[in-house]
Structure 1
Amino acid sequence: MRNTVFYSYFCIFFAIKIVFHDGYKILGVFPSSSPSHYILGSALLKGLAAKGHKVSAITAFPHNEQIENYEEIPIPKVLESFEDVLKDIEKPGGKSLLQYYNSIMTTGSTLSEKVLEQPIVQRLLTSKNRTFDLIICEIYLNDALYGLGQHFNAPLITLSPMGSSLLSSILSGAPIPPSFVPNILLGSTDRMNFVERALNLAVLTVENIIYQLYWLPYQSKVYNKFFPNAKLTFEEVMMNVSLILLNQHFSISNPEPLLQNMVEVGGLHISRQKQLLPLEIQTFLDKAHDGAIYFSLGTNCKSSGLRMEAIEAMLRVFRSMKQRVLWKYENASLPGKSDNVLIRNWFPQNDILAHPNVKLFITHGGLLSTTEAVYHGKPLLAIPVLMDQFMNVARAVEKGYAIKLSTSQLSSDDIFKRTLTELLTDPKYSSKAKQISASYRDQPLEPLEVAIFWVEYVLRHKGAPQLLSTALNLNFFQYHSLDTIAVVYGSVVLILLLVGFSLKKFVNCIFGCKRISKRKTE
């Protein structure tokens, strides 16, 4: 009996080992014009590779690292088509939010087509030897790329670098009530007054109309062009996204309606293991006895693109301060830089924010940067430039760990220094940052572990159709119950009219009979 039980356990163990020995084959698609999107995506893909899965990544920003089970499929030529647009996006000042949004739309409008026509991608599509068990694709106005799922007969998972939005709502069927879920284009929080709610509704409506009547038909044409023998229609592909990973967490953003196939994994890119800083940076920070400030406008926006009067004003302010400053500045030199300022075109941001002497983060308010600041409990001086940064900053200001400045205000020595001084000397900002940090860190599992669990859940359950909402099968009128409301309320109104008409006739009949009876007695 014991031998039988032992043999059974051995067979089960051996079978599991065989099934999972080589892992699943996973294709990640992160072709957007923003390096930060691939920072997020590669963190997930490398985590999956570490679990034994064979991972390939299509990206315009290859890291060129030698990692076991991980290969990159570089498509840098895609960016050449968008050089002018990218230069426009990278300018931190002088453009309205609407103009930036137009630039992003221009980039995205041909992104899917440019990716799919790359020779290296075409070879992948036509190869008879390449198969994948799962496709993970970023959400970035690239809907036609979702066709890779049906092409390889594999489930499709999407990752939204900007958290929940209209795009994730369309893929999941989740509601986005404009009364308390702000549009990412507006610098609002979930606490909106009447005017903000009205504007939020208007923007959501216009965006939805553009997306449904212009954007999706265009992406459908691209899909049909590159997947002429597709097993599913473009509409069916859009309705069969197994899982949507959201780069957000309710402690940083706001509570909102999410469906079962929408999972918050904000901060999955943050390494929980302390890394050694380069010696020069470590020494610079260790000697910052009065504290240090870290200054970066992210991967798209460049500090060197700021107006010269703003750069000179900030340099004057930094020169007058006792704190040390690490400034991500893209040019090799910065005339007028004082000794307490260290410039580099790249810094290990997460590891710098982890240093105890860093007291303040000057940031553009991107979601990756904001999440890292929250994780390490650092207050923000936020300078939003485009897209969701305005909403991220508005949330940080409302929660009490940030102050917002516009790019035009950077030219004022007085405003800039007064803001820095307030953030550095008033303990309420640091206290709030630590409070939010404690709330964010209080999770049952690390975000990367959560993401990997759900990715493997989809693999184990062959696409996990049980996660999909039937809301995806409803049209606009059915989804919002407009058809049933019209019938039910219409019926009620009709019944009330009939009852009212009948009562009127009954009353008229009674009073008419009384008048007739009265005349007869007279």
Structure 2
Amino acid sequence: MLFSGTLPFICDGGKVLVYPLDGSHWLNMKILVEVLHSQGHRITVIRSSTSWYISEFSPYYTSITIKKEQSQNIESQAFMTSFLKRSIEIRRRQGSLWSFLDFYWNLFDMAGETQQDVANMVINIFENKTLIKELHESEYDLCLTDPAFPGGVLLAHYLQLPLVLNTRWTFIAEAHFAIATSPLSYVPQLFSYNSDKMDFFQRINNIICHGMLVYMYYFVSNPPHQAVCNHYFGPDVDVLSLMQGADIWLMRVDFTFEFPRPTMPNVVYIGGFQGKPAKPLPADLEDFMQSSGEHGVVVMTLGTLLGDLGPEISDIIASAFANLPQKFVWRHVGKRPTTLGNNTMLVKWLPQNDILGHPKTKLFMAHGGTNGIYEAIYHGVPILGIPLIFDQYDNMVRMKARGVAEIVEVTTLDVESLTIALKNILDPEKPYKQNMHKLSQIHHDKPMKPIDNAIFWLEYIMRHKGAAHLRTESYKLPWYVYHCLDV
């Protein structure tokens, strides 16, 4: 009788349509998919035939594979390696107007191609009448998608499904900029490399960076999707408004990481939802960790999309490692460095969460991806960042502002400077470890685990068929009405 009495409050086996992104974004989405499956929900994942990480077969979901002749840029290791090389070349010339324009031209070129690929995939889905009929007949309870590439936003509107965004980035900028008031006086824009404390010249830079991303939205990212909207929904519909009309925004940050800023009622902060206790390490890795003695271990990895910095930079890193008494575990892709010391273990893959949670781990040396940063926060491990592309430098600026990290510039890296940086942050007299321990305590001190919070709101949308009462109507207003210029 008691069990029966709880049934009205339980979401009983919903159907969830998932339209994910590949790469590290899929690692985020996969966690939600697996937990939803464990709660008894049925998951369908839309993937491309060229997908890099999203498997066609899984015990956690049923997949729908969309045939593609050519992989998207984010699905290609060769493209990402080439993009990284080009980005580093541009950064070597930073400080000039030409390098500034070259940086954004490189970004716009990549974004334009990728967004066009996404739009083409959506058209293929819409034109497949058999598939569309099956999707309608499946009667999904909601669509869960990542709006960095808004194919899922368009599909959810086409199927008239409640929409939940698993997001930090949209196809225009950081996600808050699409939904909440974001004063540029203290809210840093992507690529500004600013904290929330800006002087006059930093605010100028912030506005310039914002202007470049506004340009990207109007002339690079949006046109392919607006063409889809015009054809299938009419010219009065745009993808940004569809995205702003989402029921819930599951934001992959919290305010141990992000700077304080205005927000909205339907934004749910799930930063660190991938965090979990460490499991025992494989025997060979455990033996190596224990052999470090009192000096401990430094863990280095550059994430899922990147790994090969080239032999020149790899040799510099290996030489710096060889100068120190610590042991180093390095997830390395590419040619073995010629200067590798006996204190360094190269691996093709490592259990990142488990090794960060090991008591011998003293430092995390990483590119600054959000997933790795949150695992470091979860386990209280300071960070030495080598940011490479996209949001990584801005992420590391946030960690440095918290006093838990330092940044080294990959384009000016040499053995001496890297050795000094490692010694500095490993010095027990410096406050990095204590600051990160405090930050970790704050991150853990919550009424509900981030993953439980995410699942609650997903099931909330299933139970109530949306959450219109949490959604502002501001996105429906013309810009001149929004700013009261007519008044």
TM bucket by the smaller chain? 0.7 to 0.9
Change (3 A) 1:79 1:319: farther
Distance in 1 (CA, whole Å) between partners of 2:16 and 2:163 is 10
Do the aligned residues in 2 keep the contact of 1:242 with 1:463 (CA within 8 Å)?
Answer: yes
Do the aligned residues in 2 keep the contact of 1:293 with 1:361 (CA within 8 Å)?
Answer: yes
**Equivalent of residue 298 in structure 1, options 290, 303, 315:** 303
Q: Please state if 1:87 is matched with 2:84.
A: no
Residue 161 of structure 2 corresponds to 154
Equivalence map 1:103-502=2 (5 Å): 103-116=109-122, 122=128, 124-127=131-134, 129-140=137-148, 142-162=149-169, 166=173, 168-169=175-176, 171-172=178-179, 174-212=180-218, 215-225=221-231, 227=232, 237-270=242-275, 272-289=276-293, 290-302=295-307, 304-306=308-310, 308-331=311-334, 333-410=336-413, 412-425=414-427, 426-484=429-487
Tell me the secondary structure at the aligned position of residue 454 of structure 1: helix
**Can you list the C-alpha shifts for 1:2-40, whole angstroms capped at 9, x where unaligned?**
xxxx7xx78756x649x844x1110111134xx110011
Equivalent pairs, count: 465
Tell me the secondary structure at the aligned position of residue 486 of structure 2: helix
Tell me the secondary structure at the aligned position of residue 48 of structure 1: helix
Q: CA deviation at 1:118?
A: 5.8
Do the aligned residues in 2 keep the contact of 1:132 with 1:152 (CA within 8 Å)?
Answer: no
Q: Please state if 1:70 is matched with 2:61.
A: yes
Query: Which amino acid in 2 is paired with 1:138?
Result: D
Distance in 2 (CA, whole Å) between partners of 1:376 and 1:414 is 29
Q: Please state if 1:28 is matched with 2:31.
A: no
Tell me the secondary structure at the aligned position of residue 148 of structure 1: helix
Q: CA deviation at 1:78?
A: 7.2
Aligned-pair identity in percent equals: 24
Do the aligned residues in 2 keep the contact of 1:295 with 1:362 (CA within 8 Å)?
Answer: yes
The runs of 5 or more residues in structure 2 that have no matched partner are 92-102
Instruction: State the superposition RMSD in angstroms.
Output: 3.0
Q: CA deviation at 1:117?
A: 5.4
Residue 516 of structure 1 corresponds to none
Asked which structure has the greater CA Rg, the reply is 1
Residue 100 of structure 2 corresponds to none
Q: CA deviation at 1:199?
A: 1.9
**Can you list the C-alpha shifts for 1:289-344, whole angstroms capped at 9, x where unaligned?**
12101111112222x233x3322222222222221111111137444422221112
Distance in 2 (CA, whole Å) between partners of 1:232 and 1:301 is 37
**Can you list the C-alpha shifts for 1:110-136, whole angstroms capped at 9, x where unaligned?**
132243356899464342643311101
Query: Which amino acid in 2 is paired with 1:327?
Result: W
Distance in 1 (CA, whole Å) between partners of 2:37 and 2:288 is 35
**Can you list the C-alpha shifts for 1:370-402, whole angstroms capped at 9, x where unaligned?**
111111111111111122111111111121111
Do the aligned residues in 1 keep the contact of 2:381 with 2:437 (CA within 8 Å)?
Answer: yes
Change (3 A) 1:188 1:373: same
Distance in 2 (CA, whole Å) between partners of 1:321 and 1:436 is 27
Distance in 1 (CA, whole Å) between partners of 2:304 and 2:106 is 16
Distance in 2 (CA, whole Å) between partners of 1:392 and 1:26 is 31
Residue 37 of structure 2 corresponds to 49
Distance in 2 (CA, whole Å) between partners of 1:222 and 1:51 is 35
Tell me the secondary structure at the aligned position of residue 110 of structure 1: helix
Tell me the secondary structure at the aligned position of residue 305 of structure 1: coil
Do the aligned residues in 1 keep the contact of 2:323 with 2:419 (CA within 8 Å)?
Answer: no
Do the aligned residues in 2 keep the contact of 1:100 with 1:387 (CA within 8 Å)?
Answer: no
Change (3 A) 1:24 1:247: same
Do the aligned residues in 1 keep the contact of 2:33 with 2:60 (CA within 8 Å)?
Answer: no
User: Which of structure 1's runs of 4+ aligned residues deviate more than 6 A?
Assistant: 228-233
Q: CA deviation at 1:479?
A: 2.0
Q: CA deviation at 1:169?
A: 4.2
Residue 95 of structure 2 corresponds to none
Which protein is richer in helix relative to its size?
Answer: 1
Query: Which amino acid in 2 is paired with 1:435?
Result: K
Q: CA deviation at 1:214?
A: 5.4
Change (3 A) 1:229 1:413: closer
Distance in 2 (CA, whole Å) between partners of 1:424 and 1:76 is 49
Do the aligned residues in 2 keep the contact of 1:44 with 1:269 (CA within 8 Å)?
Answer: no
Distance in 2 (CA, whole Å) between partners of 1:262 and 1:447 is 13
Tell me the secondary structure at the aligned position of residue 187 of structure 1: coil
Change (3 A) 1:469 1:120: closer
Do the aligned residues in 2 keep the contact of 1:184 with 1:391 (CA within 8 Å)?
Answer: yes
Change (3 A) 1:78 1:435: farther
Change (3 A) 1:72 1:95: farther
Distance in 2 (CA, whole Å) between partners of 1:163 and 1:360 is 31
Distance in 1 (CA, whole Å) between partners of 2:59 and 2:8 is 21
Change (3 A) 1:231 1:73: farther
The runs of 5 or more residues in structure 1 that have no matched partner are 1-5, 485-522
Q: TM-score, normalising length from structure 1?
A: 0.81
Tell me the secondary structure at the aligned position of residue 88 of structure 2: coil
Tell me the secondary structure at the aligned position of residue 453 of structure 2: helix
Distance in 1 (CA, whole Å) between partners of 2:315 and 2:447 is 47
Tell me the secondary structure at the aligned position of residue 56 of structure 1: strand
Do the aligned residues in 2 keep the contact of 1:37 with 1:161 (CA within 8 Å)?
Answer: no
